[in-house]
Structure 1
Amino acid sequence: MSDTDLSDLLFAKLSIRRDVPARAINRLSQAFSSTRRVSAKEDLVVEGAYASTCMFLTAGFCARYRILADGRRQFTEICIPGDFVNLGSLLKKRQPQGLTALTDCRTAVISHSALDRLIREEPELMRSLWLETLVDGAISREWVLSLGVQNAKERFARFFCELFMRMEIVGLTEGDGFRLPMTQTEMSDMLGMSAVHVNRIIGELREEGLIEMSGGRVRLPDLEALAALGEFESAYLEAPADLLRAIA
């Protein structure tokens, strides 16, 4: 990814919710010291490890997870291009969750010392990054709600509506769809159900005209109906009104 591409993605992510000066975003872009590439199925972050850098995902998809001693795993959040995948490590060095690549991934890397120095000098950038951590926490809380009280079909509906909205914020949607190269097994780890159940729910949503999946791409023909099914409201994502569309 070129410096221009990185700058554009940072601008799309950070200026959508707050009026961050272009100067501050350009300084942040220039402060990333290296690029890290990780192949699908490899970990970007090991649970319990100590971090000295923050990573900004510029390509690919990855997932935060916890794993129990007997090998059972729960995905807790999907990270998409434009996400700071471990921003909290700036203050909380020990990583509470692992982060695994669902596809080949590329991240831009910035040291904690460089980021700390920059946000002290650019208060609007600091506030924008603080808001990113608050939105990240809100996403996790919404997911706890969904896993705790929603049935399988409602959970699926909410999951896809949220992903669509997050993709829309950084300009990664294509009409009424987006790219999502997840296997049904990975979806089962995310949604707290068996792969067989995932397959059945996808079939039901397809028959109802609410979702189409093919070749790693998801299409949502009736976003409003899907949002109603999942009781999805996008306010917790702090998106501007002109992006809320039918799922406000």
Structure 2
Amino acid sequence: MVPAAQNSDSHQADGPLSSNPLIRKLSNFVPLSVSDRQILDDLAQPEEQFAIDVDIAAEGAVPRSVFLLKEGIAMRYRDLPDGGRQIMTFLIPGDLCDMHVFLLKEMDHSIGTITPVRVAPISRESIMGLFGTHPRISAALWWSSLQEEAMLRERIVSLGRRDARGRVAYLLCELLWRHAAVGLTFGDVFKLPLTQTELGDTLGLTPVHVNRVLKGFREQGLISISQKMLSLLNVDRLQSIAGFNSSYLHLGGASAEIVRYFNALEGRSAKP
């Protein structure tokens, strides 16, 4: 069983999981104070909506802000000269569409929607203002960026060394763990409105090959798919097929030493 999002620490606010997916995600790394949560809720208030199959940010465009995905699924991708497409990663609620994108003169990839989405645009000034004044949020955002880099490294390993069954199993397991980390699973079941073409464009496989692998997994009792809900019926077996180790997602939280460091920082700042 994949663990649900963490929500227990003396420093965290009590009560149910936050409705803000960014808070749910960052809380996997470090416990957030009531003040931290209010700051993140304020950042998520402005909202924009995008329809299915449109670009939130296009390759070559000047980035105007960081986007927090609040609802739906999006993707980072590159169009290729031969008409093909490579999807680098899927974005789910709680993900930031490139936290440091405002440092670029232009986008070097596109961010497109797979489903209708709701996003919160966050300005450069708001992001920069967090650093130095809110150490827990700053560290959690760094952790989020490091997790994204780790996911891309794992994608390279998958494309270079896993066979088709391993690639598909790896991606399904990763998506399960990521959805669980933000409270979007029901046991080992989560919403997966992805087409076989989109899976193929991510894993370097044809839609026919993806279909063959998924059919085999269903016949072996490893997965079931109904009304865009994916059930992983044997997570251990799928992780074995993929050689999957979730440690690269760094969901274990900050070390006790780091938490003590934050507590000490906040204690000093609270003194008159």
Give yes or no for TM over 0.5.
yes
Q: List structure 1 runs of 4+ shifted beyond 4 angstroms.
A: 4-7
2:180 aligns to what? 168
- 1:189 and 2:198 are equivalent in the alignment: no
What is the Cα deviation at residue 25 of structure 1?
Answer: 2.7
- 1:111 and 2:89 are equivalent in the alignment: no
| Alignment partner of 1:199 out of 186, 189, 211 | 211
For residues 233 and 37 of structure 1, do their structure 2 counterparts lie closer, same or farther at Cα, with a shift above 3 Å needed? same
What is the Cα deviation at residue 68 of structure 1?
Answer: 1.6
Supply the distance in 2 between the matched residues of 1:31 and 1:177 (Cα, whole angstroms). 30
2:133 aligns to what? 121
**In the alignment, residue 228 of structure 1 is paired with which amino acid?**
S
What is the Cα deviation at residue 93 of structure 1?
Answer: 4.9
What is the Cα deviation at residue 6 of structure 1?
Answer: 7.2
Q: Which moved more, 1:14-23 or 1:138-147?
A: 14-23
Q: Which has the higher helix share?
A: 1
Contact in 1 for aligned 2:47/2:121 (Cα 8 Å):
yes
What is the Cα deviation at residue 129 of structure 1?
Answer: 0.4
| Alignment partner of 1:19 out of 15, 18, 31 | 31
What is the Cα deviation at residue 10 of structure 1?
Answer: 2.5
2:100 aligns to what? 88
| Alignment partner of 1:156 out of 168, 171, 188 | 168
Structure 2 spans left out of the alignment, 5+ residues: 1-15, 254-272
What is the Cα deviation at residue 27 of structure 1?
Answer: 1.2
- 1:227 and 2:239 are equivalent in the alignment: yes
- 1:217 and 2:256 are equivalent in the alignment: no
Q: How does 1:29-44 map to 2 (within 5 A)?
A: 29-32=41-44, 34-44=46-56
Q: Secondary structure at the match of 1:34?
A: coil
Supply the distance in 1 between the matched residues of 2:62 and 2:232 (Cα, whole angstroms). 39
Contact in 2 for aligned 1:38/1:105 (Cα 8 Å):
yes
Q: Secondary structure at the match of 1:63?
A: strand
2:80 aligns to what? 68
Structure 1 spans left out of the alignment, 5+ residues: 242-248
- 1:137 and 2:175 are equivalent in the alignment: no
What is the Cα deviation at residue 9 of structure 1?
Answer: 2.1
Contact in 1 for aligned 2:50/2:118 (Cα 8 Å):
yes
For residues 115 and 6 of structure 1, do their structure 2 counterparts lie closer, same or farther at Cα, with a shift above 3 Å needed? farther
Cα shift readout 1:7-42 (whole Å, capped 9, x = no counterpart): 532221111111332312311321346211111100
Identity across the alignment (%): 34
| Alignment partner of 2:62 out of 50, 55, 66 | 50
Supply the distance in 2 between the matched residues of 1:120 and 1:55 (Cα, whole angstroms). 21
Supply the distance in 1 between the matched residues of 2:250 and 2:32 (Cα, whole angstroms). 15
Supply the distance in 1 between the matched residues of 2:175 and 2:40 (Cα, whole angstroms). 26
Supply the distance in 1 between the matched residues of 2:194 and 2:172 (Cα, whole angstroms). 12
TM-score by length of structure 1 reads: 0.90
What is the Cα deviation at residue 234 of structure 1?
Answer: 0.5
Contact in 1 for aligned 2:20/2:70 (Cα 8 Å):
no
Count of paired positions: 238
For residues 93 and 24 of structure 1, do their structure 2 counterparts lie closer, same or farther at Cα, with a shift above 3 Å needed? farther
Supply the distance in 2 between the matched residues of 1:47 and 1:57 (Cα, whole angstroms). 19
Contact in 1 for aligned 2:55/2:112 (Cα 8 Å):
yes
Cα shift readout 1:79-137 (whole Å, capped 9, x = no counterpart): 11111122121434532211111100110111111221122321221111011000000
2:113 aligns to what? 101
Contact in 2 for aligned 1:33/1:110 (Cα 8 Å):
no
Instruction: State which structure, 1 or 2, has the greater radius of gyration over its C-alpha atoms.
Output: 2
Supply the distance in 2 between the matched residues of 1:5 and 1:228 (Cα, whole angstroms). 31
